[in-house]
Structure 1
Amino acid sequence: MRWILALIWVAFIAYVWFWVSGQPLGSDPVFKELVTLQSKEPWLLTVFSWLGIYPAIFACLLLRSSGKGRGSHVPAWPFVLLSFGLGAFALLPYFAWSSQTRRGSGYEHLSFGNQRESGIERVAANKLTHVILLLLTLGTGYYAVTQGHPDVYMEAFMDSSFVHIMTIDFVILTLLSVIELFRDASDNRRSRGWAVSGLIPLIGPLIYLMTSRRD
């Protein structure tokens, strides 16, 4: 699995660098509208916002578990932090380098000092955090479904390199959430069938988190 993920990471970078379609970022009006939150298409804004929610979900999942317990000496927190700006580009290396061996339970210790460390862990484990993320997901999703135009999004997907990249990024993050739910469920003696819920973007992992018990 780790080699498959590594190949996907390399292929994703090569695709973005050499073959991605659409206007480059420097001359892409859709990119400028999205980063300034001025886009008038709800589906574009929603998927863009979901790419901000997904890293928070992975933070809640990954910061609960020690990188060493997973069989890797690479801590998860640097990759989680980078994922807020780079998405799957940052998380794929972590998933590729971490083994599928049984992990120890317990929240990962970040090297930021005891007070800040415990605060980050509490926020990541807090059910209120998961509820807020779920409400944000449902709210933006409702906005896209009721007000958006999928044909406009598909047109942007073909014409804008940024929309092209962020759509593929979203798909890869969804697949990574399936892998992480499978691993987390195995480590915490929950049904591995929970991994299937990862196919429901954002909502599935959040429901998994909301129904999990903190040891």
Structure 2
Amino acid sequence: MNLKLALWLVWGAFISYVLFLAPPFHLDATLTLLKNILTFQWAEVNPIILAIFSLVGIWLLIYSGLLFIDGRMQKIPFWPFAIASVGSGVLGFIPYLALREPNQQFSGQKDSCLELLDSRIYGVILAFSSVIILTYGFTGDWGDYLQQFLSDRFINGMSLAFYLFYLLFPTIITDDMVRRRWTNPQIFLAVVLVPLLGSLAYLCLRPQLQTSTVRQESFSS
């Protein structure tokens, strides 16, 4: 199946699921949860739910480390979709993946923003933060989380969005690897088969992008 079509189908299916098949939406409970998270009243929040909420943000930052660079070479920039994703998560993000064209080149100079996103320290900070979040999350009440996952639309949709970010990552990593002349199939498999931590390790270890035009390569078999 054509990748673009598949991405639009995933986007439509996720919207349909959230609207028609997910558990009921509890406005008061959701607003209370968001208030507790945003005002740092974390003792009132199950650590698992707080961790998933935080890791969805980490996923957005992981993708930003690749797609702001990718957007430089696209007809459409990534930044409007990044802003949309802050409020809507994966729903505001998938359309960019479906609209972008495959591109394995980068030319021109990196501004200060791209320099930061391309730096290894960016990946290290995200990785360190994620390990802390995961460690904290595993101290939570799994029975309470499962009950909320099955009964609350916000918790249910947020949890599924976390896994969807992981499943979509292989659609963009190949282009980024070729830009960096790091076309190793074993590295690709290690990154895409290890949820979250593989993507973070990639940001920490990948070679920096050169500012000169990168010639297109293909993966060796």
TM range (shorter): 0.7 to 0.9
Is the alpha carbon distance of 1:163 and 1:25 closer, same or farther for their aligned partners in structure 2, counting shifts above 3 Å? Answer: same
Q: Tell me how large the CA RMSD over aligned residues is.
A: 2.2
Matching residue of 1:20: 22
Contact kept, 8 Å, 2:48 with 2:142, in 1: the verdict is yes
Is the alpha carbon distance of 1:200 and 1:84 closer, same or farther for their aligned partners in structure 2, counting shifts above 3 Å? Answer: farther
Normalised by the size of structure 2, how large is the TM-score?
0.81
Identity %: 25
Give, in angstroms, the shift of residue 82 of structure 1.
2.0
Is the alpha carbon distance of 1:182 and 1:204 closer, same or farther for their aligned partners in structure 2, counting shifts above 3 Å? Answer: same
Contact kept, 8 Å, 1:64 with 1:107, in 2: the verdict is no
Instruction: Write out per-residue CA displacement over residues 161-211 of structure 1, whole angstroms, 9 at most, x where no aligned residue.
Output: 101100111111111222222332234332244343234333211211111
Match of 2:174 among 158, 182, 197: 182
120-129 or 47-56: bigger deviation: 120-129
Instruction: Write out per-residue CA displacement over residues 28-65 of structure 1, whole angstroms, 9 at most, x where no aligned residue.
Output: x2552244214431111100110111111111111122
Amino acid of the structure 1 residue aligned with 2:198 = G
Instruction: Write out per-residue CA displacement over residues 65-108 of structure 1, whole angstroms, 9 at most, x where no aligned residue.
Output: 2454xxx52222221222222221112111111233x4322579
Matching residue of 1:127: 120
Contact kept, 8 Å, 1:105 with 1:187, in 2: the verdict is yes
In structure 2, list runs of 5 or more residues that go unmatched. Answer: 211-221
1:10 aligns with 2:12: yes
Is the alpha carbon distance of 1:195 and 1:86 closer, same or farther for their aligned partners in structure 2, counting shifts above 3 Å? Answer: farther
Inter-partner Cα distance in structure 2 for 1:35 and 1:177: 30
Matching residue of 2:33: 33
Contact kept, 8 Å, 1:21 with 1:160, in 2: the verdict is yes
Amino acid of the structure 2 residue aligned with 1:98 = R
Is the alpha carbon distance of 1:6 and 1:84 closer, same or farther for their aligned partners in structure 2, counting shifts above 3 Å? Answer: same
Matching residue of 2:217: none
Inter-partner Cα distance in structure 2 for 1:85 and 1:180: 22
Count of residues in correspondence between the two structures: 200
1:50 aligns with 2:55: yes
Inter-partner Cα distance in structure 1 for 2:87 and 2:104: 27
Matching residue of 1:209: 203
Matching residue of 1:80: 82
Instruction: Write out per-residue CA displacement over residues 137-169 of structure 1, whole angstroms, 9 at most, x where no aligned residue.
Output: 000101122x12222211110011101100111
Inter-partner Cα distance in structure 1 for 2:57 and 2:14: 19
Report runs of 4+ in structure 1 exceeding 4 Å deviation.
106-109
